[in-house]
Copies of this chain bind each other. A is one copy, B any other.
Amino acid sequence: MTMTMDEAIVRRSLHDELVERLQRLIIEGELIPGEKVPEKELCERYNVSRTPMREALKVLASEGLVTLTPNRGASVTAVTVEDLEEVFPVMGALEALSGELACEKITDAEIAAIAKTHRAMIAHYKARRLPEYFAANEAIHIAILKAARNDTLSAQHRMLSARVRRARYLANMTRERWDKAVAEHEDILATLQARDGPRLGIILKQHLRNKLETVSEWLQADGRG
């Protein structure tokens, strides 16, 4: 009786699986911004026909990750500085909202979990482990989003986040910026613990604005990765 055997079997459609895989390919940079998506190649690689692949591309297009040109197929949307300047204010508004809502609804246990991740992040920062730092960083923002208890908000944020994640990941921070980001995160945690929603909203927005500057500077300098 106490068997965990009766959970619904998770059946995923191919296109759904493909949406996720293609997203990863784009974020991880295997599919290069500006380049066209090699439909046939990907079909062979994942051993699927063109039908689900094309369905997936349509979805990615509606999310802005890919650009469809009539009779010319799909290409990976290139992230320009202008794009970032469009996306970040919107993400900022969403993050601010997530902060406000989270403060209203977050449990002590969730705050404790975030605090733990925060400490891990600080350790990575001190040891200059950038990838691990990034992972912890992202985990914190996702945890706050989750605490806001609003799937619509999470979904919108995830969509925008996907569009800029690669740029954000590639842009390496200067020492000062990194210090500043960490300081802001201390502030975020403290404000979350105080459950000061309005203030958390403002801080998160400012925090994101700083990220934008980092990425923006990098994009203007090195350009594409």
Contacts and interface: CB of A to CB of B under 8 A. Distances in A.
A155 B15 CA distance: 23
Contact of A152 (B56, B90, B151, B155): B90
- Classify the secondary structure of A's interface with B: helix
A17 B137 CA distance: 41
A97 interface: yes
A62 B59 contact: yes
A144 interface: no
A156 interface: yes
Interface residues of A, number: 36
Interface stretch (A40-48, A63-71, A182-190): A63-71
A62 B152 CA distance: 11
A11 B71 contact: yes
Contacts of A90: 94, 97, 150, 152-153, 156
15 contacts: A11-B71, A13-B70, A15-B58, A51-B51, A55-B58, A59-B61, A64-B152, A86-B151, A86-B152, A89-B101, A89-B153, A90-B97, A90-B153, A90-B156, A156-B160
